[in-house]
Each structure stands twice: as structure tokens, then as C-alpha cells.
Amino acid sequence: MPWKVDMRTMKALSVLLTAGMWFTLSAADASAQSRLSLEGRVGAAIPTGDLSDRDAGAGLALAAEAMYSFSPILTGYIGVSRDAFSCDDEDFCEDLSSSGLQGGLKFLLAREGSLLPWVRLGLIGQSLDLGDEDTDMSLGFEAGGGLDIDVSPRFAVVPGVHYRSYSPDFDPGDLDVRYFVLSLGGHIHF
């Protein structure tokens, strides 16, 4: 059965999940704090497939994530995102955006000096906002890659590309939401 989550509930859930992760990990091992990090990203969401076929164009992408390093090569992440698209088709949408939660694993590859390449794979729970109508949250996946470029021992600049895909229930028919996000972010280690 599909479930509906509004933006306020989504924000509250993400704050609770982040705080719960922070306090659980802090209480379990005080030294684990150095394994915690936060990342924020801004970029462009570029639609493909059904969205592109309906004349949706690129728009602003925003994301924030909390991360925990399980080992030198494996990091878990959980976060929130909002990816907007331009749309000229008033019959289809007025204010087209995709928003929701994401979580998964980030695999760190061999470091070259201050460059740390990575790939990631995760699940997303996203809702499509069509201006006057929202879809229920739908499960999908994301995959991505990029670099952590160390600026200091605790801060890195993070360029990346992500691919996202999900299929919301949509009247009057099926719609596969697929798009790329080209982003630039900041990653801070605690």
C-alpha cells in the first residue's frame, strides 16, 4: 500500500534519523566521532526518459547527508534531497520537483594525493511534486561517483554525478522518473 509523506514530515524524519544516528554512535564509542561527517551539495538536476519526453528541463538540485565511516573504504550515508526541474507543459506540471530521503553505501577507492575517488549505491524514497498534485513516496535507487578533494584534514570539496530512478503512481498513467544530478558539495569530518 503506498504511503504519503509531506515535506514537514520528511524534514522531521530526517532530523530524527540524523540525531538518532549521531547519539547512538556517540554513546556506543566516543572515538567513533571522528568517523562521522556531514555533506551538503548543490547542483543541476537533468531529466531523462519520461520527464525529458514531457519537455521537463534542468533545475536546481539540493542535498544534505550524514555519513558514518565503517572502515577506510566503506561509508554509510543517509540524507534528504530536493531536485527541481523546469517545465513548460502546464498540462503536466507547474512546479515540478522530486524530493525525499536517500541512504546507502559509499565505496572509497585508492587515494591519489589529496584526491579520493568514490562510487556509491543506495535506495531512495522520493515523491514527485507536480505543482497541484503530489505522488506518494516511491522506492527507487541511486548510483553515483565523484571525488573528495581535500582542502584541509577535516574539509573536502566534493564534485560528483548521481543517477536516480523511481516509478511513482501517477494519474493518468505510468511515469518513470529518471535523471542525473551534477553537483558540487562540501564534506566536513568531525
pLDDT of 82-128, one tens digit each?
Answer: 999 988 766 667 778 999 999 999 999 988 888 999 999 999 999 98
Confidence of residue 6 (pLDDT cuts 50, 70, 90): low
Q: Which three cell numbers stand for residue 8?
A: 514537514
- Mean pLDDT confidence for 38-47: 97
Confidence (pTM): 0.79
CATH domain 7-27+34-189 topology: Porin (2.40.160)
With pLDDT > 70 as the criterion, what percentage of the chain qualifies?
77
> Phi first, then psi: what are they for 9, rounded to 5°?
-65, -40
pLDDT of 104: 97
- pLDDT interval class at 50 (50, 70, 90): confident
Spatial distance between the Cα atoms of 162 and 157, rounded to a whole number of angstroms: 16
Mean pLDDT of the chain: 84
For the beta carbon of residue 58, count every other beta carbon within 10 angstroms.
19
